[in-house]
Structure 1
Amino acid sequence: MFNTAKMALLAALFAGVAGSAFAADLAEPPVVKEAPPPVAYEQPADFGGWYIRGDIDYHWSRFGGADYTTYSATPPQIRGSFGSSSLKSAFSAGAGVGYQINQHFRTDLTGDWMFGSKFRGSTSGFCNTPAPNTPCVSTDSSSYSALLLLANAYIDIGTWHGVTPYVGAGIGGAWVKWDTLHNSDADGDFFHRGGKGWRFAYALMAGASYCLTDRVKLDVGYRYSHINGGKMFDYDTISNVGPGYDHGINVHEVRGGLRYQFGRSDCAPPPEPYVPEPEPIYTK
């Protein structure tokens, strides 16, 4: 009897302890580790690619002077030059193809046709009217046009609110064509066939572009071009004057045009950032 009561008491105590421990296990919430915040990886900006361009300009040409020879029956022959000379302003139009290497550096090849710029000048010499060896002054007129071909390199300084200032330089050549030179003095009118040919040329430029769309830019700037000297006009058998060689032409241009970017332009919005999927969370 005593043993049975003792066994029942021990069983009751064991059940109470085990039940409390089991209840405590059920009441305690599971421990869950928080997942780390997702990391966004932005894709690198892939600027660059081919582009085409078209430009128009209004330019002022500065004439560097010219020399010529007046032949007489007996030496020495007389060297002469223009006492006054000037060139009128004119328009030009051009096109080109280029490559945007990165966000700050690009190159292109351009060709511009400079429409006729009128020349006015005067020379001093001797006429046979009203008497031989009478001092006289002649008036001269002509015009020049040119095809300017340049290989250019630019530095795009940076882009702010769609505006990108730049500086650049170019080197190449110009095919210059002078029209017939009309010389008029007291002895009458004389005509010299104009010279033509290729010459060395270079250019310096500065300006800014503006994003019109994600691929089209408006380009406005200034360009200084220098064209080396060359033949201006041929020898005339009637006046015994010529040939004449100009000392070169300096051209100051105000330019405007459009550039179309085939590759990704800095005008395009940045790509969406890449956000990796969060890793699944496992609990025991």
Structure 2
Amino acid sequence: MKFAAQNILLGTAALVASAIPALAADVYEPPIIEAPVFEAPEHVPGEVSGWYLRGDIGYAWNDFRGADYYTFPGGVVAGSNSLAGDLKGSFTYGAGVGYQINSYLRSDVTIDWFETDFEGSTRGSCGVATDCISTDVATASALALMVNAYVDLGTYGRFTPYVGAGFGGAHVDWGNLTNTACDAANPSSCDPSVSHWGNAEWRFAYAVMAGVSVDVSCRVAADLGYRFRRIEGGSPFGYAAGTGPVYDKGIDSHEIRAGVRYKFGNCAEPTQVVFQPEPLPVYK
């Protein structure tokens, strides 16, 4: 009887000992959770709506589109003649005030100015010969007042490409034109120089633009762009010595411009994402 009890106890102990590894294998071991690496959000200037001021400087390649004039020998109209010429490149200077309507649309009113030199020529009869070539020189300047609208094509980081268009008026001021006609076969034989008085007048103007603005801060944006502008035709020079007046076909300008916009209003603060790790599981 005693031996039987001992055998039962030994068997039970062996059974329990063999079950311990299996039970240990069934105990749940929590996974190791690595804390995520937190990266501070990039600071991007917040959107500012409302008014802004702008200033621009640029360089324009100007194109004189040609002109026509009449001659009156003996007081009789002899017909129409053509004046061809070139306007030199010029620096442009501008300023304006605008309003940011929303994230995609803004508008401004700008005023800008340029001054350039004109050199042209005509061919026809003159006092010293029947075949003469003239040299025509003058100065020209324009003060343009434009109303513009722009579409911002989305913001990518700090860069915002845009397109725009504008219209308005340009006060074109031509200086006196000095005309010197010489024999085409003998350029040293010339008529006395003749001066045609220059006109100053308002003309219709329009423009199209494209470029990109770069946020320097929440209030300041740099601007680099291209503008094509056409100033419509008018009368640049008056009548003198049986010739005139002159009517030109307008001025085209291709401009590269750089500028700065200063924005008013409150700066929107960038959203700061604060990482809060999930609580670790508690095992009891």
Shorter-normalised TM range: 0.7 to 0.9
Contact 2:71 2:77 in 1 (8 A): no
Distance 1:55 1:111 in 2: 10
Matched with 1:140 is: 136
Unpaired segments ≥5 residues, structure 2? 1-45, 182-189, 274-284
Runs of 4+ in structure 1 deviating by more than 6 angstroms, as ranges, are: none
Contact 1:49 1:264 in 2 (8 A): no
Matched with 2:155 is: 159
Contact 2:167 2:207 in 1 (8 A): yes
Distance 1:212 1:63 in 2: 38
Distance 1:76 1:170 in 2: 40
Per the alignment, in what secondary structure is the counterpart of residue 73 of structure 2? coil
**Residue correspondence of structure 1 range 116-131 to structure 2 within 5 A:** 116-129=115-128
Matched with 1:256 is: 258
Distance 1:127 1:146 in 2: 32
Task: Report the residue type matching 1:247 in the other structure.
Answer: K
Matched with 2:212 is: 208
Distance 1:74 1:145 in 2: 33
Taking structure 2 as the reference length, the TM-score comes to: 0.74
Distance 1:264 1:101, change over 3 A: farther
Task: Report the residue type matching 2:127 in the other structure.
Answer: N
Residue 145 of structure 1 deviates from its aligned partner by 0.5
Distance 1:148 1:134 in 2: 42
Indicate yes or no: 2:195 matched with 1:194.
Answer: no
**Residue correspondence of structure 1 range 1-284 to structure 2 within 5 A:** 47-73=48-74, 75-82=76-83, 84-114=84-114, 116-129=115-128, 134-185=130-181, 186-236=190-240, 239-264=241-266, 269-271=269-271
Contact 1:60 1:90 in 2 (8 A): yes
Task: Report the residue type matching 1:231 in the other structure.
Answer: S
Task: Report the residue type matching 2:116 in the other structure.
Answer: S
RMSD of Structure 2 on Structure 1 (CA): 1.8
Task: Report the residue type matching 1:200 in the other structure.
Answer: F
Residue 263 of structure 1 deviates from its aligned partner by 2.3
Identity %: 49
Residue 103 of structure 1 deviates from its aligned partner by 0.8
Distance 1:163 1:195 in 2: 44
Residue 78 of structure 1 deviates from its aligned partner by 2.4
Residue 264 of structure 1 deviates from its aligned partner by 4.4
Distance 1:46 1:88, change over 3 A: closer
Distance 2:150 2:266 in 1: 18
Distance 2:85 2:51 in 1: 43
Distance 1:76 1:53 in 2: 51
Contact 1:200 1:228 in 2 (8 A): yes
Contact 2:48 2:218 in 1 (8 A): no
Task: Report the residue type matching 1:93 in the other structure.
Answer: Y
Residue 147 of structure 1 deviates from its aligned partner by 0.5
Distance 1:124 1:174, change over 3 A: same
Contact 2:70 2:77 in 1 (8 A): no
Task: Report the residue type matching 1:263 in the other structure.
Answer: G
Distance 2:64 2:201 in 1: 17
Matched with 1:36 is: none
